[in-house]
Structure 1
Amino acid sequence: MLSAARRQRALIDSLYASGALCDRRLAAAFRAVPRHFFVPLHGAVTTSGSPLDADRAPERWLDAAYADEPIVVQIDDGDPERAEGVPTSSCSAPGVVARMLEAARLRDGHRVLEVGTGTGWNAALLAARLGDDRVVSVEIDPGVLEGARAALVRAGRTPRTVRGDGEFGYPEGAPYDRVIATCAATRVPRAWIRQTVEGGLVVLPWTAMEGAGVLARLTVHGDGAASGPFLGGLGFMPLRSQRPGPPAPPPPEAEPDETRLLHGPDPIEPLTRFPTAFAVTVAVRRWRMGLRPAPGGTGRQLWLASRDGGSWARVLPAGPAWRAEQAGPRSLWDEVEDAQEEWRALGGPSPERYGLTVAPDGRHRVWLDTPDGPGWDQEEE
């Protein structure tokens, strides 16, 4: 039976080997803070839904604690009557945590605001790297915060933990050198930028549409703007105030205003690949998409819907070809086709070539290669 310490060493070695962890001071923090202190003994589940129980299956529980995988610690905000089965809090995958903390470029003396305490592991790592008195962590859920505080005590860490809505930051502790969000945002809250010193960084998972997120590192400027690059794909649970509504695919019986045949390769497949899907979500405004079985079990169909519910489209098999149907004031499938064509004309850039600028008035603009390069304004939700 491998001890927790040996599992921890093996995990850190793997993070080094993958390139997720490079900074030696940060690596020392990972060594100083055992992850299993922050995994509940009972009630947590793997991302596949398998339950974890430290008493009944201690080996399996410890294996999960030191795997490079997230562990779900709360479903449906802890409300058993909701029964939706939606994960709402987790202990993030170690590789993802390392990537985010490396992206923050932490230095001795930095003061950090963490938005989303979760299990407390990330706050403990920050405290081990910078000092307990240099870290403030805000959590909106009282039950999650209670568990995090208990875990921090077990780990011997005492960062300041505050119950509150992280969208508003924590002005009492401002200004901060770094704001690190462990929840995804479509609109970067103005408070995060205002509470960061000029030249400081706001590090967050940013998303134009659920399911197509990236890690953003924004530098705060003296005029109240913030701008910076995307650092690759990254998925996180959304900031509670920015949770999207439930998906609303068009009903199967909905009649289209327009139907046309599509010849050539599978038009759905490109949108299942992250680089294409990301580029399209940036360029097409206020929409969502999903997959469901095609009628008669003949494969899959793609559905698209505007967020206001007034327009929809679907693409489904039609013998050797495909059929595109759309209805409403917007021709959503046309917009998606145009966005893909634009992306191909730009050379099919990867998400890492994009970045984000948040203007002093809160306007968001995604750009390619440089802030002055080709760009796409992001509408308010």
Structure 2
Amino acid sequence: MITAAQRHAALIDSLIQSGELVDDRLIAAFRATPRHLFIPEVGALTVHGTVLDARTSPEAWLAAVYSDDAIITQVDDGDPTRRRHLPTSSSSAPTIMARMLEAADLGDGQRVLEIGTGTGWNAALLAARLGDTNVTSVEVDPAVLAGARSALAAAGRSPATHLRDGALGYPPGAPYDRTIATCSVTRVPRAWIEQTRVGGLVVTPWTAMEGAGVLAPLTVAEDGSASGHFRGGLGFMLLRSQRMPDVPPHGLDAEPDETRVVDEDVISPLTEFATAFPITFMVPSWRMGLRSMGTGMGLWLSATDGPSWARVYPYGDEWAVEQGGPRSLWDEVERATAEWGALGAPDHDRFGLTVAPDERHRLWLDTPDGPGWDFVLPDR
């Protein structure tokens, strides 16, 4: 059996070889902080839903813990009556954690606020890099926080941890040199920017809708704005206060106002990150998802500002498009796709985000003064 120490060393070596881990001090922090100390021995799941149990299957448990995958540590906010089986807390994939911490450009003596303690592994890595007294972490879920505190203590780490809504930050410790979120947001909370010093970084996953997300390291300016280029695609659970309402989308079974047939696959581009990401913010106030239909796997689109909707599904060798409501939602998607193409089909890392002091979010291409789109924040 390969030991935990051997698996841990191999994982860190692979992160270095892939180029995800570069900073020597950060590498040392990863080597000093084994992941298995922060994964529950019972009750965790792989991303494929396999139940992990260190008591009955220790080798399978260790193999999963030291894979480069997320480990789900809570579903349905820990409420067994909900039965939706939706992941609500996890240990992120090591590659993603390394990428985020490298993007934070950590320096000796810096003070960091972490949003979302989760398992405690990221807080422990920060503490190993910067010192326990320089790390403050907040967590909204009391059960999750209790588990993290126990794991941190067992690992010999003692960053400050607080039960608190992450959207509010933690004012008593401000200003911070870095604010690092382990959850995704569509609206960067004002508190994060206000509690980060001028010239400091807010490092957060950002998404226009659940699914297609990017890493956003935003530099805080003297005027209270924060701005930066996106780096790399990733997916995180949304900050709990920014979750979409648990309501069905519009038009799943409604009669359409308009139907047409197209001869090219219009579903695939909206299910692939490279082509879907820019459309998610170029079209305002909407969401989408896959749905099995009679002719195969289709796509539904639903406005978040009213009862507009669209359905797209295979129709023989073609694709049927149906839409209804006051907005012609599919037409908006087509116009946005054409606009993206006219710009040269730029990759996601050519885009960036500026959050103004009045909380306006503006997406831009190449530079903050370049072509841009005011992001209409989703209704909740």
Q: Same fold (TM over 0.5)?
A: yes
1:249 CA drift (Å): 3.6
Pair 1:14-2:11 in alignment = no
Aligned partners of 1:319 and 1:31: how far apart in 2? 55
Name the residue aligned to 1:291. Answer: 290
Amino acid at match of 1:162: H
Name the residue aligned to 1:203. Answer: 203
Q: Can you list the C-alpha shifts for 1:37-56, whole angstroms capped at 9, x where unaligned?
A: 00001111111111111110
From 353, 365, 369, the counterpart of 2:366:
369
Amino acid at match of 1:200: G
Answer whether contact 1:367 1:373 (CA < 8 A) is retained: yes
1:321 CA drift (Å): 2.4
Q: Can you list the C-alpha shifts for 1:98-138, whole angstroms capped at 9, x where unaligned?
A: 00000000000100000000000000000000000000000
1:309 CA drift (Å): 4.2
Answer whether contact 2:251 2:308 (CA < 8 A) is retained: no
Specify every segment of 5 or more residues in structure 1 that has no aligned partner in the other structure, as ranges: none
Name the residue aligned to 2:332. Answer: 335
Aligned partners of 1:108 and 1:334: how far apart in 2? 51
Name the residue aligned to 1:270. Answer: 269
Aligned partners of 1:247 and 1:66: how far apart in 2? 37
Aligned partners of 1:175 and 1:253: how far apart in 2? 51
Aligned partners of 1:252 and 1:170: how far apart in 2? 42
1:251 CA drift (Å): 4.8
Q: Secondary structure at the match of 1:236?
A: coil
Q: Can you list the C-alpha shifts for 1:269-321, whole angstroms capped at 9, x where unaligned?
A: 111110111010010011011121232xx222211110134101111223332
Aligned partners of 1:288 and 1:153: how far apart in 2? 41
Q: What is the 5 A alignment of 1:119-134?
A: 119-134=119-134
Aligned partners of 2:71 and 2:310: how far apart in 1? 36
| Paired residue total | 378
Aligned partners of 1:16 and 1:194: how far apart in 2? 34
Name the residue aligned to 1:109. Answer: 109
Q: 1:176 to 1:253 in 2, by over 3 A?
A: closer
Identity %: 65
Specify every segment of 5 or more residues in structure 2 that has no aligned partner in the other structure, as ranges: none
Aligned partners of 2:252 and 2:116: how far apart in 1? 39
Pair 1:321-2:318 in alignment = yes
Pair 1:236-2:233 in alignment = no
Q: What is the 5 A alignment of 1:59-78?
A: 59-78=59-78
Name the residue aligned to 1:307. Answer: 304
Q: 1:109 to 1:135 in 2, by over 3 A?
A: same
Name the residue aligned to 2:225. Answer: 225
Aligned partners of 1:320 and 1:44: how far apart in 2? 43
Aligned partners of 2:165 and 2:25: how far apart in 1? 30
Q: Secondary structure at the match of 1:72?
A: strand
Q: Secondary structure at the match of 2:97?
A: helix
TM-score, structure 1 normalization: 0.97
Answer whether contact 1:248 1:305 (CA < 8 A) is retained: no
Q: Secondary structure at the match of 1:305?
A: strand
Q: 4+ residue stretches of structure 1 with deviation over 6 A?
A: none
Answer whether contact 2:214 2:233 (CA < 8 A) is retained: yes
Amino acid at match of 1:70: A
